[in-house]
Amino acid sequence: MKKYVALLLTVVMIVAFCSFGFTASADNDYHITLKLSHVFAPTEQLTVEMEQVAARILERTNGAVEIQTYGSSQLAVYKDNLQQVVDGSNWIACEDPSYLADYNINFEALIAPMLYANLQEYSYVCQSDVVKALCQDIEDNYGIHVLALDFNVGLRCMQTNKVIVTPDDMKGMKIRVPNSSMYINCLTAMGAAPVAMPFGETISAVQQGVVDGLEGNMNAYSTNGSAEVAKQMSFTNHLIGTCGAYINIDVWNSIPEEYRDIIQEEFTYGAAELTQFTDDNFQSTMEMLEKEQGCHFNDVDVDAFRAVMQPEYDRMVAEDGVSADFIPQLQALVAEYDAANAA
């Protein structure tokens, strides 16, 4: 399962080490400051990874490229984050790829529910010609240059006080979700009654019975307090938790090529490194939660959940305008990856 990420990390590290200390020969006085904005808290691993990426770029460019990272929604986030990129600011937006759907609707389907069984499948799809064509389209038409699409923080699962195995087990359950149509549509298709609310209200809402649980990834389960009130995690893996990094194409092209190469190498490496970290810590985090929080974990009937998701795929095409052949193309790429990596 980890062969793809391990190979990518190895290749990028070799290139990076060969390039350390290299500076642009054309202009030794060159300097640019870029602001990078995201919503993640200081303790979350994506925040740590972005700070490491920025530090490595600063070192490898001898201070010529300075990326100032701002988490916890200190600056513009979500749609406003992408707007800074479109407007041509010296800016890197770090957001869920679904926000790119405002510019090409097929990005909505890229992280559609129940498409991926593991993070490596998704990262493989991101490197495909199908997705590269999407990225080229938003670059050509909106000036959004994609540095990465797969800073992966984990597959999202159900966190309740009930063992969930099939969609029937979720009927009538009130589940907290972010205020996002993708999450609301996903949980509705799974049989639940999604309740959109800010996360700050969620723990008390579970305690008081306002909602029956929530959904999220393993790392968040261990750090945000949900394990204290929801003791059962069911591995639905219904959505992938991931972020991309985006910069304006004119800003990107204004940077000397030597520095652009370094920036791209470090963002590619950072995405692979975060994915590897997420995978490597999954088992130990689960064991810690079992031992220290009394949490329990169970597998689900994946085929049953995928079956109820087909109407949502159809809705994306009929109502949202996703290309009819796009999700089948993604499914074929996942099958291609799985076949190549079968034990």
What are the pLDDT digits (tens) for 137-146? 999 999 999 9
Q: Based on the domain organization, do 116 and 209 belong to the same domain?
A: no
Task: Quote the domain boundaries for residue 72.
Answer: 3-155+241-282
CA gap 320, 317 in Å, rounded? 6
Cα dihedral 154, 246, 44, 271, rounded to 10, equals: 50
Q: Based on the domain organization, do 30 and 82 belong to the same domain?
A: yes
> Residue 223, Cβ neighbours under 10 Å: how many?
15
Q: Based on the domain organization, do 202 and 71 belong to the same domain?
A: no
68 φ, ψ (degrees, to nearest 5)? -95, 120
Model confidence band, residue 15 (pLDDT cutoffs 50, 70, 90): very low
Residue 343 belongs to a domain: no
Q: Residue 290 has what pLDDT?
A: 98
Q: Based on the domain organization, do 208 and 63 belong to the same domain?
A: no
Q: Looking at residue 254, which CATH number applies to its domain?
A: 3.40.190.170
Q: Residue 6 has what pLDDT?
A: 52
Q: Based on the domain organization, do 19 and 91 belong to the same domain?
A: yes
Q: Based on the domain organization, do 252 and 309 belong to the same domain?
A: no
Model confidence band, residue 7 (pLDDT cutoffs 50, 70, 90): low
> Residue 274, Cβ neighbours under 10 Å: how many?
26
Q: Residue 25 has what pLDDT?
A: 47
pTM: 0.88
Q: What domain count does the chain have?
A: 2
